[in-house]
C-alpha cells in the first residue's frame, strides 16, 4: 500500500524523520494503543480499590495505601530515571536496545538489597515482609519494561500484562471474601505485579534477553541522574499532598483521598496519550513543538477537567459510596488542566538538555504542595489536600509559561 504524508496532527517538528513516514491511520492506531495502555492502569487501580472498599472498608484501603506510598517511592528511586534516559538512548542507537536495557536493569537492581533492608527497618516481618519484597521486585522489573513498550510501540503487550495482573489480583481478593485484611491485599497485589512482569518478559525476551555479559555501569547512574531528580521532583510536586495526607489523616480519609487522587492522575495521564508514542521521533528531530500543538493539548485538558466533575461524582459517590461533597470534585478538576499545558514544555526542555531547570521548578512545586497541605489539611481535610495539589500544579505551569514565552490562549 502506498503511504502518503499524514495531515498535520499538531506536532509541528519540522525535522521529524520517522513520524513523517507514518500514515494518518498509523498515527491513530499508535495513539489508540498508547491510550489503552495509559487507561488500563487507573482502571486497574479503581477495580482493586473498589473490591477492597466494598468487601471490607475504606479504612482497610487507607491502611494499604500507606504501604502503597512507601513501595511507590521505593520503586521510583530504584528506577533512577531509566525511562527518559533509555528512551533518548534507544532513539539515538536503536540497535543497542537489549544491551542498554540489561545494563540499566543490573545496575539499578543492585540497590534492591538496600530497599529490602529498608523494609526490615520499617518493621515488616514474616509473610508480609516476603510478599512486600516480591511486590517491590516485581514492580521494579515491570517498570523497567515500560520504556521498551513505548519505544517499540507494542502497546498490546502492556495491555495484556495489565489485564492479566488485574485478573490475578482480583481473583485472590475475591477468593478471600470477608476474611480480607491488609496482608492479603499486599499478597494479591504482589502476585498481580509478578504476573505483569512474567507477561512482559515473555513478550520481549527476544529483544532484551540476549547473550553477552552485562556488568554494573556507574556511568549510566551518572548520566541518568538528571532524569531521576527530574522525576523525583515531579513526583513530589504532584504527590506531596498524598504523602502528607497519609501522615496526618485517619485511614478512612486516606482511602477516600487516594481514590480521588487516582481519578485525577488518570485524567492527567490522558495528556500523554497523544504525545508520548512520538517522543522518540521528537528527540530525533531538529524542530520543536508548534504553538498549535500546545493550544490543542490545553483545549483537550479543559474538556477533560470540565467533564471530570460530574464523572468523578458518579464514580466516587455512586459507585464507591464515599459521599464526598461537590467542592471536592471542583478542586480536583483544577489539578487536571495545568498538566496539559506543562507536558510539551517539559519534553522540549528534556530535548535541549535542560533537565536541571525542570528539577528546580518541580522541587519548588513540591515545597509549595507540602507547605499548603500541612497548613490546609487540619482545617479542610480532603478538600485542603486537593487544593494544595492544584495550587502547586498551577504554579509550575505558570513558571514554564513565563520562562519559555509560550502562550496557550488564542492570538
pLDDT in tens, 63-76: 999 999 999 999 99
End-to-end CA distance of the chain: 40
Question: Higher model confidence: residue 403 or residue 153?
Answer: 153
Average pLDDT over residues 86-100: 91
Please name the helix (run of DSSP H) or strand (run of DSSP E) that holds residue 220, with its range, or none.
Answer: helix 218-248
Q: Are 183 and 127 a contacting pair, CB within 8 Å?
A: yes
The model's pLDDT over 24-40, given as tens digits with 9 standing for 90+, comes to 777 777 777 877 887 88
**Which DSSP category does 7 fall into?**
P
What is the pLDDT averaged over residues 268-292? 65
Lowest average pLDDT, out of 217-231, 290-304, 321-335, goes to: 290-304
Compute the average pLDDT of residues 100-129. 93
As a whole number, mean pLDDT of residues 116-145 equals 95
**405 pLDDT band (50/70/90 cuts)?**
low
pLDDT tier at 277 (50, 70, 90 boundaries)? low
Q: So what's the pLDDT on residue 120? A: 94
Mean pLDDT, rounded, of the chain: 86
Cα–Cα distance, 366 to 364 (Å, whole number): 5
Confidence class of residue 14 from pLDDT cuts 50, 70 and 90? Answer: very low
| Lowest-confidence region among 22-26, 113-117, 132-136, 391-395 | 22-26
Mean pLDDT across 181-191: 96
Inter-residue contact 152 to 279 (CB < 8 Å): no
Nearby residues of 356 by Cβ (< 8 Å), 6 or more positions away: 226
- Specify the pLDDT at position 143: 97
Q: State the pLDDT confidence band at 107, using cuts at 50, 70 and 90.
A: very high
**Cell matching residue 87:** 528512551
Res 18 pLDDT > 50 = no
The pLDDT value recorded for residue 1 is 40
Provide, rounded to the nearest whole percent, the portion of the chain with pLDDT above 90. 60
Report pLDDT for 286. 58
Split at pLDDT 50, 70, 90, the class of 275 is: low
Confidence of residue 408 (pLDDT cuts 50, 70, 90): low
More confident residue, 203 or 294: 203
Cα(103)–Cα(217) distance, integer angstroms: 7
The pTM (predicted TM-score) of the whole model is 0.81
DSSP classification of residue 80: T
| CB contact at 8 A, 290 and 15 | no
Distance of alpha carbon 35 from alpha carbon 304, whole angstroms: 14
Q: Is the pLDDT of residue 126 over 70?
A: yes
Examine the pLDDT at 15 and tell me if it is beyond 50: no
pLDDT at 7 over 50: no
Which pLDDT score, from 0 to 100, does residue 89 have?
92
Confidence of residue 142 (pLDDT cuts 50, 70, 90): very high
Outline where DSSP puts E strands in 237-374: none
- When pLDDT is cut at 50, 70 and 90, the band that residue 16 belongs to is very low
Q: How confident is the model at residue 293 (pLDDT cuts 50, 70, 90)?
A: low
**200-214: per-residue pLDDT in tens?**
999 999 889 876 667
For residues 163-178, give the mean pLDDT. 94
pLDDT of residue 11: 30
Amino acid at each position: 500500500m502506498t503511504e502518503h504524508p499524514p495531515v498535520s496532527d499538531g506536532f509541528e517538528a519540522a525535522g521529524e524523520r520517522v513520524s513523517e513516514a507514518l500514515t494518518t491511520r498509523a498515527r491513530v492506531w499508535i495513539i489508540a494503543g498508547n491510550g489503552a495502555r495509559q487507561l488500563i492502569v487507573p482502571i486497574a487501580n479503581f477495580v482493586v480499590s473498589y473490591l477492597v472498599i466494598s468487601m471490607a472498608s475504606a479504612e482497610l484501603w487507607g491502611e494499604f495505601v500507606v504501604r502503597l506510598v512507601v513501595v511507590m517511592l521505593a520503586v521510583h528511586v530504584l528506577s533512577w530515571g531509566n525511562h527518559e534516559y533509555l528512551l533518548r538512548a534507544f532513539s539515538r542507537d536503536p540497535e543497542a536496545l537489549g544491551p542498554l536495557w540489561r545494563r540499566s536493569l543490573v545496575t539499578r537492581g543492585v540497590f534492591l538489597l538496600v530497599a529490602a533492608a529498608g523494609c526490615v527497618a520499617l518493621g515488616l516481618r514474616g509473610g508480609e515482609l516476603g510478599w512486600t519484597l516480591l511486590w517491590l521486585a516485581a514492580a521494579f522489573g515491570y517498570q523497567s519494561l515500560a520504556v521498551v513498550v513505548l519505544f517499540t510501540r507494542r502497546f498490546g503487550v502492556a495491555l495484556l500484562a495489565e489485564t492479566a495482573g488485574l485478573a490475578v489480583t482480583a481473583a485472590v481478593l475475591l477468593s478471600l471474601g470477608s476474611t480480607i485484611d491488609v496482608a492479603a491485599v499486599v499478597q494479591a497485589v504482589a502476585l498481580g505485579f509478578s504476573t505483569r512482569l512474567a507477561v512482559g518478559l515473555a513478550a520481549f525476551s527476544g529483544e532484551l534477553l540476549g547473550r553477552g555479559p552485562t556488568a554494573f555501569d556507574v556511568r549510566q547512574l551518572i548520566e541518568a541522574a538528571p532524569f531521576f531528580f527530574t522525576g523525583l521532583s515531579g513526583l513530589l510536586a504532584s504527590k506531596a499532598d498524598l504523602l502528607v495526607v497519609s501522615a496526618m489523616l485517619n485511614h478512612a480519609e486516606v482511602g477516600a483521598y487516594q481514590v480521588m487522587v487516582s481519578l485525577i492522575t488518570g485524567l492527567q495521564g490522558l495528556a500523554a496519550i497523544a504525545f508520548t508514542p512520538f517522543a522518540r521521533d521528537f528527540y530525533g528531530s531538529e524542530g520543536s513543538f508548534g504553538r498549535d500543538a500546545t493550544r490543542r493539548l490545553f483545549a483537550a485538558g479543559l474538556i477533560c477537567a470540565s467533564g471530570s466533575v460530574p464523572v468523578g461524582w458518579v464514580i466516587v459517590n455512586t459507585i464507591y459510596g464515599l459521599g464526598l461533597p461537590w467542592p471536592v470534585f471542583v478542586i480536583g478538576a483544577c489539578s487536571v488542566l495545568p498538566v496539559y499545558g506543562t507536558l510539551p514544555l517539559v519534553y522540549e526542555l528534556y530535548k535541549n538538555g535542560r533537565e536541571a531547570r525542570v528539577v528546580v521548578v518541580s522541587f519548588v512545586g513540591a515545597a509549595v504542595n507540602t507547605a499548603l497541605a500541612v497548613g490546609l489539611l487540619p482545617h479542610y481535610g480532603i478538600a485542603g489536600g486537593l487544593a494544595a495539589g492544584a495550587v502547586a500544579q498551577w504554579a509550575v505551569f505558570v513558571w514554564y509559561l513565563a520562562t519559555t514565552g509560550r502562550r496557550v490562549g488564542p492570538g
